[in-house]
Amino acid sequence: MNLPNKLTLLRVFLIPFFLLFIYLDIPFHFLIALVIFAAASITDALDGKIARKRNLVTNFGKFLDPLADKVLVIAALTVFVELKEVNMGAIPLIIITAREFMVSGLRLLAANSGVVVAAGIWGKLKTAFTMVTIVGVLFWISLCHDFSFGIPCKVQDIVNDIAVPVLIWISTALTVISGAVYLKGYWNLIDSDK
């Protein structure tokens, strides 16, 4: 197994540990979850670059890399909704999940037609912005819960009720745009007249 695929597998392997430390009631558990998520995000940036640079692109990587990204992001957003640590609501999670199902369906149809659906600039931007947003939210949650800095309630309210939802909704908007770009580019695969 080549290095990019090992990095992708590492990302998959880190997801349950991220979830474990989010829920584990031990000191600095949010900080540990943040470090795990950040490490998993870095593997996402590295595996594709290494695969393309060293010509190590494989079918296994094409399959598992986007799947690992989707599971990692959806796991983190689901945790945010469940823990109610930030005021984001379930709607962004539903939109993002729906887009991921749609793109996965398009990839399946494309594969059946012998077409490879490569990640476009909007998809890469969406993934990068979403992962950076999640790291920022995890950092904020860790700051509020793992450390005793005495952050004023007013600051907490502004971040929880305005800053975080705005970042989540920007991620959601980028998700919708990238989904629409994929849909437009591969519409011929799902044309109802065919």
> Any idea what the CATH number is for the domain that residue 47 is in?
1.20.120.1760
What is this structure's pTM?
0.89
Asked if residue 82 is part of any domain, the answer here is yes
For the segment 22-39, the average pLDDT, to the nearest whole number, is: 96
- pLDDT per residue as tens digits for the range 111-138: 777 776 767 889 889 999 999 999 999 9
Give the integer Cα–Cα distance in Å for 113 and 73: 29
- pLDDT per residue as tens digits for the range 135-175: 999 999 998 888 877 778 788 888 888 899 999 999 999 99
* In contact, 131 and 73? CB cutoff 8 Å: yes
**Phi and psi angles of residue 119, each rounded to the nearest 5 degrees, phi first:** -70, 125
Give residue 153's identity as a one-letter amino acid code.
Answer: C
Asked if residue 20 is part of any domain, the answer here is yes
Give the integer Cα–Cα distance in Å for 42 and 10: 11
Q: What local confidence, expressed as pLDDT, does residue 129 receive?
A: 96
Q: What local confidence, expressed as pLDDT, does residue 48 receive?
A: 81
Asked if residue 193 is part of any domain, the answer here is no
Give residue 178's identity as a one-letter amino acid code.
Answer: S
Asked if residue 34 is part of any domain, the answer here is yes
Asked if residue 47 is part of any domain, the answer here is yes
Q: What local confidence, expressed as pLDDT, does residue 72 receive?
A: 95
- The three-point CA angle 162-166-172 to 5° equals 150
* In contact, 8 and 43? CB cutoff 8 Å: yes
Residue among 121, 119, 116, 2 nearest 54 (CA)? 2
> pLDDT category, 192, cuts 50, 70, 90?
low
Q: Which domain holds residue 168?
A: 3-188
To the nearest whole percent, how much of the chain has pLDDT over 70? Answer: 96
Asked if residue 18 is part of any domain, the answer here is yes
Asked if residue 98 is part of any domain, the answer here is yes
Give residue 94's identity as a one-letter amino acid code.
Answer: I
